[in-house]
Structure 1
Amino acid sequence: MSEAVSQPSSNNKVSTKSLIYIGVVFLFLYCFFLIINLPAAWVVEQAKQRNMLPPNVNISAPTGTIWQGEAQYMRIANINLNKVKWELSATQLLLGNIDANIKVDNSRQAQSLSMSGNIHLPIAALSPAQTNHAPDSGNPAEASKNIITLDDFKLRAPANQIAHYLTLPIDANLQGRFLIDIAQAELDITASNALRCELMQGDIVWQNANANVYGQFINLNAMDASLSCAERNVTMAFNPNNKLGLDAVVKLVDNNQITINGVMKPDASLPKSVHDAMQYLGKPNQQGQYTVEW
């Protein structure tokens, strides 16, 4: 009789365990689907309220989810971006990194900035407070680095917008458009006043190249250069087949300043003022080229 009574108790025990297991599974699935469908608008609003966004970042009208969404407008520092689309890696985010495929779709508008490609960076790199202001010793072991990695990255931007962030050797208003294609790059942004180049493979084209130099309009057609690293500086090696005859290496150094080392021989079709200005570069070599150093 006692055995007959104990049997239902065993069944009830098994049934309770099954219910707990099923409940845990459903709770896990509910949390999982809640996270993967987390609205981008809600996340951005919460970040704004808690001052979690860097002060130089503004995001407007986000739609979609945090993992795959779009913002009608985004401002980073002084750069305005429209129709920004992204896809985020959840695994990398849990590891404290941002791994995203982005697209800013204004490629058909010559005066707008557009970009696309894969970006990987630590979340700490977005915060100015995390920037290491110590001098760059060149020893990776002395301090952690904030490395931005770019893969299959394309940037299209008006020439005057890019020039605004550079210290040029002459007072010139650049016109046209820069087309930058980067197959792969690793950039160290740990130092606040410098961009250290760890790896760079790509090229840059100055399309419809025009320059207004001291009131003189100069049509250069197009210029192109290959991108690489030299002494941890981003380096451009110009293709000499251009109207300036510029065969030079340009380096981006501290505080967005540039150095130039090479030669140039302006095409005969360029204005007389360009040829007259060559006298300030000294005497030409046997090939008629003038040394350019700055």
Structure 2
Amino acid sequence: MMSWRWLLWLIPLYLVALVVMAPARLVFWFVGEGGGPWGGPGSAPLSSVSGTIWQGEASIHATLPTGGTLSLHNVTWQLSPWQLFTGEANVALKIPSSNYIYGEATIMASSSQAKLQANLKGAMQPAIQQLQIPVPITMAGDFELNIANYQVSDFQSGKFCDTLEGTFATSRTEMRLNHQWHQLGDYKTELTCNPQNGINANIDDNNLVGLRLNAQVNGRITAPQVSVNGSIKPTLQTPKPVTDVLVFLGKPDAQGRYNFKW
């Protein structure tokens, strides 16, 4: 009789051990990666998966709306098993510096809400080229994206955010004109969530070229609507070649600012 009791205890422990030690590659294959029973071609952007579902490593390849490709290698994750009992998944991600975008992020998700905290860094030019960001001029420098608090709860609407507190900073920023690089200094963009549940990006004009900018991303995630309004008022530190090309924006206003929008 005692042996049967031990067996009844061992069966659930054995099943738990199977889940804990389940190879991550098998799990992702089952849910779609690699052509599993519910997957199709390109159903999940993961490859080179190793480890377990609780701690592992994979490469990410995803096609973006811009036509570019997000390719990140040797991304590691840790999933907290204890928070699953509270109905929330907590995943910590690390992207090594061998990628053109690197850093750390924490994703917390439940049936009603998703939260994100992240600190990502990289070089502007490789990121612009890989992601095919529509920047009309050739730029270089380093960037840092810091997301202190991002939350979204209305998954069905496709809105971008409910809460957003973050910054996007560039340092040693340069612009290429007539085959020459010109230093433009450092810039800081404040990221917030607007009343339409879209993203606001604002730059104050306390910078080398007197750039003041407000950009908004509204609409739905599947069909974003982007608008940009800004102006430039050259300072004494603005490189002359940069000042010279401002005539293509039209005439300055009464405050000496060259306005633009798209």
TM-score by length of 1: 0.70
Which residue number in structure 2 is paired with residue 232 of structure 1?
A: 197
Q: Does residue 84 of structure 1 match 2:75?
A: yes
Matched, 1:221 2:185: yes
Give 1:29's aligned amino acid: L
Once residues 234 and 214 of structure 1 are traced to their aligned partners in structure 2, the CA distance between those partners, rounded to angstroms, is 34
- CA contact under 8 A between 1:218 and 1:270: conserved in structure 2? no
Q: 2:216 aligns with which of 251, 271, 275?
A: 251
Per the alignment, residue 66 of structure 2 pairs with none
Identical amino acids, percent of aligned pairs? 23
The 2-side partners of 1:234 and 1:201 are apart by 10
1:278 aligned residue: 246
| Cα deviation digits, residues 226-273 of structure 1 (max 9, x gap) | 111113221112132211211222222455553223432123343434
SS class of match (2:26): helix
The one-letter amino acid paired with 1:285 is A
Q: Which moved more, 1:53-62 or 1:242-251?
A: 53-62
Distance 1:46 1:38 in 2: 12
Q: CA deviation at 1:290?
A: 3.0
1:232–1:58 distance in 2 versus 1, CA, 3 Å: closer
Deviates more, 1:30-39 or 1:59-68: 59-68
The one of 150, 161, 174 aligned to 2:116: 150
Q: In the alignment, what sits opposite 2:37?
A: 50
Q: CA deviation at 1:167?
A: 4.2
CA distance in 1, matches of 2:178, 2:160: 33
Equivalent in the alignment of 1:105: 96
Aligned partners of 1:206 and 1:224 also within 8 Å: yes
Q: Tell me the secondary structure at the aligned position of residue 7 of structure 2.
A: helix
Amino acid at match of 2:37: R
Partner of 1:115: 103
Give the 5 Å matches for 1:122-161: 148-151=114-117, 153-160=118-125, 161=127
Q: Distance in 1 between matches of 2:39 and 2:84?
A: 15
Summarize the Cα distance change of 1:75–1:175 in structure 2 as closer, same or farther, 3 Å threshold: same
CA–CA distance in structure 2, aligned partners of residues 36 and 261 of structure 1: 51
Is there any run of 5+ residues in structure 1 with no aligned partner, and where? 1-15, 124-144
CA distance in 2, matches of 1:177, 1:64: 32
Distance verdict in 2 for CA 1:157–1:217, change over 3 Å: same
Are the counterparts in 1 of residues 123 and 140 from structure 2 also a CA contact under 8 Å?
Answer: yes
Higher Rg: 1
CA contact (8 A) 2:177 2:241 kept: no
Q: TM-score, normalised by structure 2?
A: 0.77
Q: Distance in 2 between matches of 1:272 and 1:66?
A: 56
Relative to 1, partners in 2 of residues 1:112 and 1:195: Cα closer, same or farther, differing over 3 Å?
farther
Structure 2 gap ranges (5+): 64-68
